[in-house]
Amino acid sequence: MADLHVHPDRLEIHLTRAEKVLSVRREDLVIPRESIRSVAITEDPWIWIRGIRAPGAAVPLTLSVGTWKFHGGKDFLLIKGKQRAAVVVDLDGEEFSRVIVSTPHAAKLVEALRVGVGEIPADGEVID
């Protein structure tokens, strides 16, 4: 599962080697905090998927990893499992319009993103 790192100025999503292969992506995702428009927790990430897979991998209701293109842009999905909470991050002015990541630590991630910039340690907070 991807490692999530919250820093004062950015959110980093470190993909595993398998996730990089499945998503046809060579690099991790780095999202500047000023680009984050909203963050929400969902118990059913599958209803948030929009568009078609291009490129990426998908097994219906089990796995969605990669880029999904829709009429208004692109989303990045990293959804695993049928009954796992996920975080939906809406973005402005970035490569992706939305990033959806399933994680058992969804509440902790949302809380870390809400904390004021001055309250996060300089080395960031790791959310596994």
pLDDT at 46 over 90: yes
Strands of the sheet containing 98-102, edge to edge, are: 36-42, 86-91, 98-102, 73-80, 63-70, 52-59
Q: What is the DSSP string of 33-73?
A: GGGEEEEEEES-GGGG--SEEEEEEEETTTEEEEEEEETTE
Q: Does pLDDT of 5 surpass 50?
A: yes
Separation between Cα atoms, residue 33 and residue 104, nearest integer Å: 22
Residue range 20-32: mean pLDDT, rounded:
95
**Does residue 123 sit within a domain?**
no
Give me the domain span that covers residue 94: 3-118
Per DSSP, the residues of 67-79 read EEEETTEEEEEEE
Q: What is the pLDDT of residues 62-88, one digit of tens each?
A: 999 999 999 989 999 999 987 789 999
pTM (two decimals): 0.87
Q: Which of 107, 105, 97, 102 is nearest to 76 (CA)?
A: 97
- Tell whether 126 is covered by a domain: no
> Does 18 fall in a domain?
yes
Is 23 contained in some domain?
yes
Determine, yes or no, domain membership for 107.
yes
Tokens of 73: 């842009």
Tokens of 18: 């398998």
Domain count for the chain, please give it.
1
